[in-house]
């Protein structure tokens, strides 16, 4: 099982038993507060895992708060706990300057977002850019190979 205490979760079992899409993607979500290990994950609302060909391509951890006035405060906390660069090395998402920033690396990126009432929409997401490109190529090839009558 992918998460301590999730063994008897029927919703998770359903997600895990579902076959991948035609592009090789699948996903599942975990709500730590449902499991016996919830104390270890205090403040985490949801963990969402997306896979490509059975390998993790995106991992998102959503939090129950706290509210932050600026994403830099959230990044400072993450940087201290996870040995990440400071917020000055993260790119601002134009138009959401105080809510969303991205740390871009060679083959992956980390995105931090703050928002919602009491910070209930806060998240950090790690994305495998190589997997993203592979998926993008598959979708493009499928679209190119689709017949004009297929509606794609």
pLDDT in tens, 126-143: 999 999 999 999 999 999
Distance CA 41, CA 145 (A): 45
Tokens in use for 91?
Answer: 């790119």
pTM, rounded to two decimals: 0.87
**High-pLDDT (> 70) share of the chain, %:** 93
Mean pLDDT of the 74-80 span: 94
Instruction: Name the one residue in this structure whose structure tokens are 């963990």.
Output: 47
């Amino acid at each position: 099982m992918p998460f301590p205490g999730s063994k008897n979760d029927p919703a998770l079992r359903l997600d895990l038993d579902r076959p991948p899409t035609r592009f090789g993607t699948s996903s599942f979500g975990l709500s730590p507060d449902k499991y016996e290990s919830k104390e270890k994950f205090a403040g985490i609302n949801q963990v969402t895992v997306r896979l490509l060909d059975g390998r993790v391509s995106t991992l998102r951890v959503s939090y129950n708060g706290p509210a932050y006035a600026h994403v830099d405060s959230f990044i400072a906390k993450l940087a201290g706990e996870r040995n990440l660069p400071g917020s000055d090395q993260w790119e601002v998402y134009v138009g959401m300057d105080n809510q969303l920033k991205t740390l871009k690396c060679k083959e992956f990126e980390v995105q931090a977002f703050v928002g919602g009432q009491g910070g209930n929409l806060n998240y950090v997401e790690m994305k495998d850019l190589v997997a993203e490109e592979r998926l993008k190529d598959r979708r493009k090839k499928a679209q190119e190979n689709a017949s004009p009558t297929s509606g794609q």
